[in-house]
Amino acid sequence: MKYYAAYGSNLNTKQMARRCPRAKPIGTALLKGWKLSFKGSHSGFYLSIDRKKGWSVPLGIWQIDDFDEKALDRYEGYPNFYQKFMLPINIHCFDGSKSLEQVLIYALPSTARYGLPTGSYVGTCVDGYEDFGFDLKYLEDAFNASRRNK
């Protein structure tokens, strides 16, 4: 089993149940020193993260297996669109425990351009933020920053 950190549409528990039926939400984390924004290409704009001092990104942590990881790779367009890497993350588990783990996370290259997402994509992300109890201000800030930078 592995841990996967979601910060966008994969926070949506209904979507993840279809995409990765064996995945289980196990907790949350706050990724400090990273900033959320909408980035992409001609195919569309999606949430991604970039290193940025003074910012943070809420994460939903999922326990996944190899089957789920392959499904995520396909969905995220890895390795041609999103990149993936491991980060040490302090997880606040839903059972009340805390654990430092190496966690899989996907992000677009820092060179990806800013842009605005579709309303449907934003709605899926909002539902996911509500599923995990996250403050929607993070999404609002990402949207406003991407609008200014596009």
pLDDT, one tens digit per residue, over 39-89 is: 999 899 999 999 999 999 999 999 999 999 999 999 999 999 999 999 999
CB 108 within 8 A of CB 83: yes
If we measure between CA atoms, which residue out of 106, 108, 112, 117 comes closest to residue 147?
A: 117
Which residues are designated catalytic? 76
**Is 5 within any annotated ligand binding site?**
yes
- CA of 39: how far to CAs of 76, 81, 113, in Å? 13, 11, 5
**Is 4 within any annotated ligand binding site?**
yes
CB 25 within 8 A of CB 89: no
**Is 41 within any annotated ligand binding site?**
no
pLDDT score at 139:
98
pTM: 0.97
pLDDT score at 44:
96
Please name the fold of domain 2-148: Hypothetical upf0131 protein ytfp (3.10.490)
Q: What share of the chain is helix, strand, coil (3-state, %, to 5)?
A: 30, 45, 25
pLDDT, one tens digit per residue, over 3-34 is: 999 999 999 999 999 999 999 999 999 999 99
